[in-house]
Chain A
Amino acid sequence: MKKQPITKKIGAIKFSLFSPSEIKKMSVAKIITPELYDREGYPVDGGLMDIRLGVIDPGLRCKTCSQKLKQCPGHFGYVDLARPVIHIEFIKHILRFLRSSCAECGRVLASEEKSEKFFKELESVEKNKTIKDKLTLIRKFTNTLKTITKCPHCNAKQQKVTLEKPVTILVDGKRITPIEIRSRLEKITDDDLKIFGLNSKDARPEWMVMNILPVPPVTIRPSITLQSGERSEDDITHKIGDIVRINQRLFENINAGAPEIIIEDLWDLLQYHVTTFFNNSVAQMPVARHRSGQPLKTLTERIKSKEGRFRHNLAGKRVNFSSRTVISPDPKIKFNEVGIPVAVAQELTIPERVNEWNKDWLKTLIARGPAGYPGANYLIDLDGKKKKITDESVEMILEELDFGHIVERHILEGDVCIFNRQPSLHRMSIMGHKIKILPGKSFRINPAVCTPYGADFDGDEMNLHIPQTPEARAEVELLLDVGNHIISPKNGFNIVGSTHDAITGNYLLTKKLVFTKEDAIRLLASIGVYSGADFGDTVSGKEIFSELLPNDLDFVGYAKEFTDDSDDPDHIVKIKQGKLISGVIDKATIGEDNGRLVRSIYSKYDRETALGIMNNMFKLGLSTLLYRGFTSSVSDTDLPDSITSKNTKLLNEATGKVDDLIESFNKNKLESLPGNTVEETLEIRIVEVLNKVRNKIGKQVSDSIKENSTIIMANSGARGNFLNVAQMSACVGQQSMKGKRIVGGYKGRTLSTFKKGDLSPLSRGFISKGYKKGMGPTEYFFGAMTGRDGLMDTALRTPKSGYLYRRLANSLQDIRIFSDLTVRGADNEIVQFVYGEDGLDVSQSEGGTINVDRIIKEIRGR
């Protein structure tokens, strides 16, 4: 059997500067020519694509490590620079060194006592504070040295050092060359470097002025072959080519004894190329471009920003064994199941090691191959070689199959997977589901888990991942499963519960439906819970609902319609020993976000039982509706003529009142409210009148419409409310923007149909008709205005809140509970001694506390 390789763990990563000798030591080739390939298309020795630097062509072997493509990691080369140049990213530090050290003796411009004192301070900061504090302290100290004009060590007079952006350093107004800079930096002693926070082993200031340039391996700058057979080189290859070319010319000119001006020009050009090689977006430095005019993407650009190495490749990983497709609802599957199309199941696999007990079974899978289901796609033999199972290879593989081989078999019903919908805003956005193989081409989820994912079915797609190791599968089953995420850790309320039709169904069932014995059993059997209970000839809905509940469940709660003075027994939900005695089941008991019964069940029973009960409730609701039938229609919002005329009268009255107000304002008779101007007062009064009339109309509508499907939906909390009904049948109401009636548009008026200064309800966005009757043109326009305003708000908000979230997540991601139950960050700093001051886990609580009321009731009930 192939031995598992010993995996090493990376303990720490150290950052430091390369010294010129180190660069030379790690290099395998000296680059001397900007040419890339010879006439045969073979890489030139000493060129930028030298095969000692690694291979990027299939078939070739690396001259350094004699490995093939993808095995050779690539090797560095170097360029000997004719004259030293400054590394642009260190320019600020170089300036700091020059300013704080003596031009003559190279010592730091601080007396012995002063640096002694500073060291002590530094030591204590290093021990007790963060790295940021250390850097600020060093910066502060070195800044004080800038102004010293006489060296305390050799008494030499100090000249002022300034930076002429981007890379020229002036001493007393005169330019000094990188050679001079380098020689000055060399003079700084190792001991003095500590004042700048440097350790001479890790970094010497003169290394920041480079006389030797490392050339990155070809593997990080592979060329791409275009369709025409032409080679297109990477931006970095182009840039190093420029550097080598200028460097050669500089060498030649120096050797030929060319005039100083020409050499200096070439030197500056070399500096430019090296600078843009590191960073092509330096302020005041012209950007290096392709011939097409597109800027080159050099080293800094590769690392920086969202598409850079850090955020794109290092912090974000790509995975195999995943799948993505459109989702659609299937209320008949369980909450923690996901329906997967056969086509997907044949593509996703789980590695299974062959042993005594599963060998025969795996053989049948292999025999079926990738095209059958359930089959297998690959076999990994003892040497770790991966073989594809095909019609040709299947017989050989079956013959060779032995213990210890790994078969990549298709996923099967009952396997676990991870299901996710973006944006993954909270931990319920990624949960564990059990696989259910279904026909079709979409993923199927129970509509109850739409809420945690934030999903709907208007074309949403979701991702599915198959955990590959037993450890991962255990975590998915025990920690990620939907059953563990019923309660949101945000506020301790349940985020999964019955929705829409499931609520309506249970509401109707428990409110008034009565069944014959046969129908009742049929209903229960259709959801698979009938256990042979003894029913009478007629069975009430409450009895049927009770069948779902465990026998030891006690519960007291209030229905959604409960108010303090209501005496309807159906408004108080009472469950005693698993029997629903009174009350209707609605959103307040089984709905998402504080469905009390769901909470009670969840805290009393284990996850599986609780999830099962919730599942059954959901299914019972739907089955009830299937049995009874449920239709909402336009005529649901019909009003009797008497009410319509009453509404018109109310509206006319209100308009009259507003007119009166405007008139009294025009006559300066309106008294202003405290703290407001008269204009503001008028506006407040008008809005008040209009709101009042809308509420009155709403009241009339709710009083006059008899119970019908639409009203049932509103009453049960399944969808919509009375306001919506009133808006459909009678009056949409005031459209407001930024908390005010609609203003602006044309000068002094909202639309050109109105007179200037018109403050009437109609001209300021009051819609007096219902959606069913239809709005007037201006009313429709105002409705569209607020609609667009809402869209804009969402579009503008998303990036803002996204950035806030990113910052929060980045700052808080390392904070966790330690073994002593303190809350600490990654640097071991204590944030809280006890989490949340009491150590309670919100996702295990009931709305952030322990529900004492419930416990008292349960104890009393017994």
Chain B
Amino acid sequence: MADIYDKFSDKLPGRILEDIKAKEKLEKLTTVELTKVLERVSDEFEKSKVVPGEAVGLVTAESFGESGTQMTLDVFHFAGVSELQVTSGLPRLIELFDARKIPKTPEMEVQILSKYAKDEKMIRKVASKLKELTLQDISTEFSLNLMKGNIEVKLDLTKVKDFGFTLDEIEKTLKEKLKKVNVRKLTYGFVFEAPEGVFELTELHKVKEKVKEVVVRGIAGITQVLPVKVGSKTIVKCAGSNVKDVLAMEEVDSKNVTSNNLFEILDSLGIEAARQTLINEGLSIIEGQGLDVDVRHMLLLADLMTNTGTLKGITRGGIAGEKGSVLARASFETPIPHIINASISGEVDELKSVIENVMVNQPVPMGTGLPNLVFGVEKKTKELKTEDKKENKEKIKK
């Protein structure tokens, strides 16, 4: 049976072959039938292939553009807990296509290795290791001593105990994270002093704000966690995202970490991962709205946004601003700067894309505007000319 497939392996794409293989087992096809099926499928596939000249880009734009008008503006979608809101619908789609540096609601899904997720207690422990805990969260008072030029922090000792800290541990992390400040331990908290002399008043405020935000435990940026069981897997849904630090944790199954922050994925896992994230996110938004757009459109858009190795948004600063043609750029947004810059560097617009040809009333290089007829022009015109002259002369004589 396998050699039958081999014959068609270059005629049919893998996706369809897999489909047939599955159906073959299910329907218990005979060899004869299978060959027939494969022949018919490859016939139909050949007929259904895209043709050169097809404006696939515009079809993609239309598919998303038209679907966009049917989406809701409702910004939030709850994932069980009210803090775990996720932007959805049109606002999220716009954000995604813009390739914004930070999404409005960053979010991660982290799978925990099974050996660290044997029971509730273990899971909760891992989850708490993920959730960011700042000094502010476990203290009751930050007081500035203007005379001494230092900051005194009173800790909420019951909370400290609840979270399973000892003061020494906290002191250690504080010392690690605050290099330019001296940390002194008290029985009820800490004193932060300048390494030499005293802090100036303005400086004191800055240091205070900095000290407040020091992460004493967990991963910076992750503000809320919610462990859920999906089948046999344990997944922690997180509000906030910090891919780099999460991947470094030993409890985390690093192969099953997702984030909706494209740039974090790009930085830590590379452009291919960012492209896949883009595709997944895009499809899930469309699906979440109960709409149906083919994968191919999402693939094309994702490929366009990532094909240079960096993430480019569908904005005037991204793809639309990087076109080779001056007129195409000018017709989109901010025409004046584009024309000015083009004129001083003597740019030439070769009228290769659609919009410029529309401007000068010429056929666009797409679809039926592409084919040309080639014939021997010179020969024909010469013959015609002599004939014409003869005719003219005769006419004049008459």
Contacts and interface: CB of A to CB of B under 8 A. Distances in A.
A351 interface: no
Given A801-B90, A832-B300, A850 B76 contact: no
Given A802-B69, A831-B300, A838-B13, 17 more contacts: A12-B348, A197-B345, A201-B346, A427-B58, A490-B294, A490-B297, A805-B66, A807-B314, A810-B331, A812-B61, A836-B294, A840-B296, A848-B295, A850-B16, A852-B37, A859-B37, A859-B40
A738 B76 contact: yes
Interface in B46-88: 47-69, 71-74, 76-78, 80-82, 84
Contacts of B315: 807
B119 to A, nearest CB: 15
A736 B275 CA distance: 37
A813 B314 CA distance: 12
Given A840-B49, A850-B48, A852-B23, A813 B65 contact: no
Interface stretch (B169-177, B248-256, B356-364): B356-364
B65 A821 contact: no
Given A816-B57, A817-B50, A856-B37, A300 B336 contact: yes
Contacts of A838: 13-16
Interface in A650-687: 675-676, 680
A826 B295 contact: no
A491 B347 contact: no
Interface stretch (A302-310, A383-391, A431-439): A302-310
Given A830-B307, A835-B50, A855 B61 contact: no
Interface in A784-833: 793, 796-798, 800-802, 804-805, 807-819, 821, 823, 825-827, 829-832
A14 B328 CA distance: 14
A749 to B, nearest CB: 22
A490 B62 contact: yes
Interface in B100-147: none
B359 A839 contact: no
Given A89-B340, A819-B52, A826-B352, A202 B345 contact: yes
Interface string A311-328: 100110100000000000
Interface of A: 9-17, 89-90, 93, 130-132, 135, 197-199, 201-203, 208, 279, 300, 303-304, 308, 310-311, 314-315, 317, 423, 425-427, 475, 479, 489-493, 603, 675-676, 680, 738-739, 793, 796-798, 800-802, 804-805, 807-819, 821, 823, 825-827, 829-832, 835-845, 848-850, 852-853, 855-856, 858-860
Nearest to B317: A132
B29 interface: yes
Interface in B6-42: 13-16, 19-20, 23, 27, 29, 33, 36-37, 40-41
Contacts of A15: 326, 339, 342-343, 346-349
B59 A489 contact: yes
Contact of A826 (B54, B307, B323): B323
Contacts of A832: 299-300, 303
Contact of B73 (A793, A841, A858): A793
A814 B354 contact: yes
A827 B324 contact: yes
Nearest 8 A-B pairs (CB), nearest first?
A: A815-B57, A202-B346, A805-B65, A836-B296, A826-B353, A838-B13, A812-B57, A801-B68
Nearest to A676: B81
B366 interface: yes
B383 to A, nearest CB: 16
Nearest to A798: B69
A802 B66 CA distance: 9
A364 to B, nearest CB: 32
Contact of B350 (A11, A423, A817): A11
A860 B57 contact: no
B56 A14 contact: no
B349 A12 contact: yes
B351 A479 contact: no
Interface of B: 13-16, 19-20, 23, 27, 29, 33, 36-37, 40-41, 44-45, 47-69, 71-74, 76-78, 80-82, 84, 90, 93-94, 97, 226, 292-297, 299-301, 303-304, 307, 314-315, 318-328, 330-332, 335-336, 339-356, 358-362, 365-368
A13 B77 CA distance: 50
B279 to A, nearest CB: 11
A840 B339 contact: no
B321 A132 contact: yes
Given A816-B366, A826-B325, A809 B58 contact: yes
A359 B47 CA distance: 43
Contacts of B48: 840-841, 844-845, 850
A807 B353 CA distance: 16
Given A15-B339, A130-B324, A831-B303, A817 B56 contact: yes
A317 to B, nearest CB: 7
Given A427-B59, A491-B293, A739-B76, A850 B41 contact: yes
A329 B367 CA distance: 33
A132 B328 CA distance: 14
A425 B64 CA distance: 10
A17 B342 CA distance: 9
A841 B50 contact: yes
Nearest to A309: B335
B307 A856 contact: no
Contacts of A675: 80-81, 84, 226
19 contacts: A12-B350, A89-B336, A93-B340, A490-B292, A797-B73, A800-B94, A801-B71, A811-B320, A814-B323, A816-B56, A817-B56, A818-B52, A826-B328, A831-B307, A835-B296, A838-B14, A841-B49, A852-B16, A853-B23
Contact of B44 (A199, A603, A739): A603
A808 B54 contact: no
Nearest to B68: A801
A740 B84 CA distance: 16
A303 B66 contact: no
A838 to B, nearest CB: 4
A324 to B, nearest CB: 22
Nearest to B355: A315
B344 A203 contact: yes
B336 A738 contact: no
Contact of A848 (B47, B90, B294, B367): B294
A723 B63 CA distance: 30
Given A804-B93, A816-B53, A859 B294 contact: no
Contacts of B304: 811-812, 815, 825, 831
Nearest to A809: B61
B309 to A, nearest CB: 11
A843 B294 CA distance: 10
Contact of A852 (B41, B67, B93, B97): B41
B354 A10 contact: no
A303 B336 contact: yes
B63 A797 contact: no
B343 A16 contact: yes
Given A93-B344, A816-B54, A852-B23, A489 B330 contact: no
Contacts of B73: 793, 796-797, 800
Q: Which of A303, A838, A848 has the most B CB atoms < 10 Å from its CB?
A: A838
Given A10-B362, A300-B336, A317-B358, A840 B13 contact: yes
Nearest to A680: B82
Contact of B332 (A793, A810, A830): A810
Nearest to B65: A805
Nearest to B319: A811
B55 A816 contact: yes
Contacts of A845: 48
Given A202-B344, A808-B97, A852-B23, A817 B294 contact: no
B327 to A, nearest CB: 7
A798 B65 CA distance: 11
A479 B368 contact: yes
A10 B360 contact: yes
Contacts of B94: 800, 804
